[in-house]
């Protein structure tokens, strides 16, 4: 009889707790599934190779669906998998409705999407429509003659008008965005590589083509779209001369041209409003106003901003100051505290590994600093983007020779530096630290050859530390980066305060600690992160009986409100409930 009474008492307690959680969640305004999502970004070329050709593929992703589910994430964003000649690793698309042969076929895609959805994981498609490949049929037609129906799908400047006004190209060896084409004696525009001609969004036929492509994928069941380089899509086609010093703020003169909002409202009306999807644009302009104009709900454009200012911190061999890091993330949170929605991330396919840039990738501190950085991402307001391999603490590979690089930005940047007579040793030192290839090395699965990524020769070398930094080894260690990642993901999913709670910075002048509270209703949590390799002490508002929610070390050293943090320690307390 006592056991029955005890059982029902426990049941009532559990039901009561569940009801309290439900009441808390019901009181939150502006809830959305894409705000509560935790996104895992996969670079498909480097995730898992199933056929031994050295290139990751969709079948490889399918093999690892249970692993992805085990992380606790509920969304996956994948870099482009469309048909492409691969000049820029898939960001040069020749067929927006086809799958690159290296990755598989549409049947593989459908099976992968089905497998994700069966596991409660949504899928975000990369949409690359600022430019296409020069091997896309549209461009082949466009360059064939000046009176071709597809001519105005791209930006052309007739040679008889003289050289076009200078425009900068991010990936061109000479930095020039106009490329002469003798077939029609004209120049075409490419803000990126020569094989990536910019589409003419001023042409309504181009816009309709894009909307039809997005509808095609939405009908297949894709849950979201990430718009690559979209802030550059609209251009001032009068091509005014750029003012002196424009290169100091390229985005101001290249991005967020006036018609971009017209096009996004049209995209929302044609596509986004008709499906249960969300859209995020890479880049958010150069100001908060730009970002809000893209994503505020009453604008009826996009749903989420993905700003780059955080990625600009630490872009030098000297490293960064924590005060600068705190300032960037605090001001962006403040700007979006009442309206709009942000992404939160420290890594992606365009930057080095987060532990090498923002943490400490030495053997002594790699694991704890990786855990600390993941704690930051998963306790801040905004939708978290977690990059493949960061859950196990993967590091920069550190190439020494330009011949080792595969990234077009690195290779063409080297040619540009050589042409301009720059210090090549300095260029190579910076490239070693900041190169995009650092974040694209194959996923480290186990201790077998090539870290279990492939049975062939990998398209990019595997990091030499794969024998100790890999999924198989970390799976067995309860204190590993991997198992800590699973815990912090679950903590976020269990506590809406980390999604919707108000952010308040503490100790703004502290040179080692980043401390902040998150508050939602009656609940308040305190996050304390040591961004240094030295111990740090702080007096913090812990209250009477703080609950330690997570700790990236096995122990905690504190007395009353004083906390002594070990190097790169991360602590999260529930201080009011």
Of the residues 57, 282, 290, 437, which is catalytic? 282
Bridge partners for 564 per DSSP:
537, 557
CA 338/CA 223 separation, integer angstroms = 26
Do 440 and 43 form a contact (C-beta atoms < 8 A)?
yes
Question: Helix, strand, or coil here: 504?
Answer: strand
Q: What is the 3-state secondary structure (H, E, C) of 301-323?
A: CCCEEECCHHHHCCCCCCCCCHH
Give the CA dihedral 145, 150, 155, 157, nearest 10 degrees: 20
Known active-site residue 228: yes
Tell me, yes or no, if 282 is annotated catalytic. yes
Q: Is 496 helix (H, G, I), strand (E, B) or coil?
A: coil
DSSP 378-424: HHSSSEEEEETTTTTT-------SGGG---HHHHHHHHHHHHTT--H
3-state SS of 131-166 is: ECCCCCHHHHHHCCCCCCCCHHHECEEEHHHCCCCC
Distance (Å) of CA 24 to CA 11, 28, 31, 496: 20, 7, 12, 8
Q: Which among 102, 126, 228, 407 is annotated as catalytic?
A: 228
Q: Report strand pairing: 383-387 vs 343-344.
A: parallel
C-alpha distances (whole Å) from 238 to each of 138, 165, 179, 259, 313 are 23, 10, 18, 13, 35
CA separation (Å) from 202 to 66, 236, 238, 258, 263? 44, 9, 12, 11, 9
Per-position DSSP letters for 175-197, written without gaps between them:
-B-EEEETTTTEEEE-SS-TT-P
Q: Which residues are marked as active site? A: 228, 282
């Amino acid at each position: 009889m006592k056991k029955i009474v005890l059982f029902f008492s426990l049941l009532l307690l559990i039901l009561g707790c569940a009801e309290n959680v439900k009441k808390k969640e019901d009181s939150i305004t502006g809830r959305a599934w894409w705000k509560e999502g935790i996104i895992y970004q996969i670079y498909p070329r480097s995730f898992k190779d199933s056929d031994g050709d050295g290139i990751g593929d969709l079948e490889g992703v399918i093999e690892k669906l249970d692993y992805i589910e085990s992380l606790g994430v509920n969304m996956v964003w994948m870099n482009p998998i469309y048909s492409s000649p691969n000049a820029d690793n898939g960001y040069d698309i020749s067929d927006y409705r086809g799958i690159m042969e290296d990755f598989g076929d549409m049947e593989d895609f459908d099976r992968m999407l089905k497998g994700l959805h069966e596991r409660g994981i949504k899928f975000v498609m990369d949409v690359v429509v600022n430019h296409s490949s020069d091997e896309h049929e549209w461009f082949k037609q466009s360059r064939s003659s000046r009176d071709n129906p597809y001519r105005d799908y791209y930006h052309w400047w007739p040679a008889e008008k003289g050289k076009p006004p200078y425009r900068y190209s991010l990936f061109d060896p000479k930095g020039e965005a106009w490329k002469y084409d003798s077939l029609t004696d004209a120049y075409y525009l490419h803000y990126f590589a020569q094989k990536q001609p910019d589409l003419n969004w001023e042409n309504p036929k181009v816009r309709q083509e894009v909307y039809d492509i997005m509808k095609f994928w939405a009908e297949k069941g894709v849950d979201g779209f990430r718009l690559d380089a979209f802030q550059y899509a609209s251009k001032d086609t009068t091509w005014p001369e750029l003012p002196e010093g424009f290169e100091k703020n390229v985005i101001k003169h290249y991005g967020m041209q006036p018609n971009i909002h017209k096009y996004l409202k049209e995209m929302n009306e044609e596509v986004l409003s008709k499906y249960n999807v969300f859209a995020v644009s890479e880049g958010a302009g150069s100001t908060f106003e730009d970002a809000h104009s893209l994503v505020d709900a009453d604008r009826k454009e996009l749903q989420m901003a993905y700003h780059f200012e955080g990625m600009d911190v630490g872009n030098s061999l000297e490293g960064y100051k924590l005060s600068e890091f705190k300032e960037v993330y605090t001001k962006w949170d403040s700007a979006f505290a009442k309206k709009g929605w942000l992404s939160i991330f420290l890594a992606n396919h365009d930057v080095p590994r987060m532990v090498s840039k923002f943490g400490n990738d030495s053997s002594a501190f790699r694991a704890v600093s990786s855990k600390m950085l993941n704690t930051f991402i998963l306790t801040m307001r905004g939708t978290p983007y977690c990059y493949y391999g960061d859950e196990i603490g993967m590091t920069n590979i550190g190439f020494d020779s330009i011949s080792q690089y595969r990234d077009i930005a690195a290779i063409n940047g080297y040619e540009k530096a050589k042409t301009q007579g720059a210090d090549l040793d300095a260029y190579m030192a910076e490239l070693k630290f900041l190169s995009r290839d650092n974040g694209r090395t194959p996923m480290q699965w186990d201790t077998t050859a090539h870290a279990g990524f492939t049975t062939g020769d990998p398209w990019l070398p595997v990091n030499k530390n794969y024998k100790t930094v890999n999924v198989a080894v970390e799976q067995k260690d309860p204190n590993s980066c991997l198992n800590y990642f699973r815990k912090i993901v679950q903590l976020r999913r269990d506590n809406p305060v980390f999604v919707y709670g108000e952010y308040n910075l503490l100790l703004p002048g502290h040179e080692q600690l980043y401390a902040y509270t998150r508050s939602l209703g009656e609940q308040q949590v305190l996050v304390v992160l040591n961004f240094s390799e030295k111990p740090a002490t702080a007096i913090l508002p812990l209250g009477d009986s703080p609950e330690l929610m997570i700790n990236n070390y096995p122990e905690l050293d504190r007395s009353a409100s004083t906390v002594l943090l070990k190097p790169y320690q991360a602590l999260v307390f529930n201080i009011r409930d």
